[in-house]
């Protein structure tokens, strides 16, 4: 019902309401009813499937395996949260073929003006004077 009917979650909630009225002391029914009510916005499976979007977790699990596990779980590797996130961010850009666009956005954020001081000696010019 959840996968096939646009209003499937509402039908499940109605059925659970019916069961709750028949068995008012059944805590498990109340728990499940509360879960479906709280998460009904996430259970639009038929609507999403009709749009051609994935409704299962297989796509996410496969992404975790190829994006995360293959990079972070190699022999002898140890990662802290910040280092791991940095690696995964860049890997995500690469795997999604968006590295150039993402790097351009990042680089635009970190541009700094560099000022050349007057008393700096040009090494190239200094080498020319000593080698001749």
Same domain? 71 vs 21: no
Same domain? 120 vs 71: yes
Residue 129 confidence (pLDDT): 61
DSSP H helical ranges for 23-98: 27-39, 45-50, 58-63, 70-72, 81-95
Same domain? 69 vs 21: no
Same domain? 46 vs 63: no
- Residue 131 counted as domain residue: yes
Residue whose token pair is 């590797």: 77
Tally of CB atoms within 10 A around 43: 18
**End-to-end distance of the chain based on CA atoms, in angstroms?**
87
Residue 26 confidence (pLDDT): 93
pLDDT along the chain (132 residues), means of 10: 92 96 94 96 91 84 82 85 90 90 89 80 70 51
Q: What is the domain count for the chain? A: 2
Determine the structural domain holding residue 72 and report its residue range: 57-132
Same domain? 100 vs 64: yes
Residue 21 confidence (pLDDT): 95
């Amino acid at each position: 019902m959840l996968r096939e009917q646009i209003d499937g979650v509402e039908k499940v909630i109605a059925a659970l309401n019916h069961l709750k009225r028949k068995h008012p002391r059944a805590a498990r029914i109340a728990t499940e009813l509360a879960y479906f009510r709280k998460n009904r916005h996430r259970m639009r499976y038929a609507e999403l499937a009709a749009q051609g979007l994935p409704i299962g977790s297989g796509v996410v699990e496969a992404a975790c395996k190829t994006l995360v596990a293959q990079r972070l779980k190699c022999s002898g590797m140890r990662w802290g949260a910040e280092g791991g996130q940095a690696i995964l961010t860049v890997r995500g850009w690469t795997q999604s073929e968006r590295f150039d666009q993402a790097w351009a956005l990042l680089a635009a954020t970190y541009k700094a003006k560099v000022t050349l001081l007057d008393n700096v000696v040009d090494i190239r010019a200094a080498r020319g004077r000593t080698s001749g």
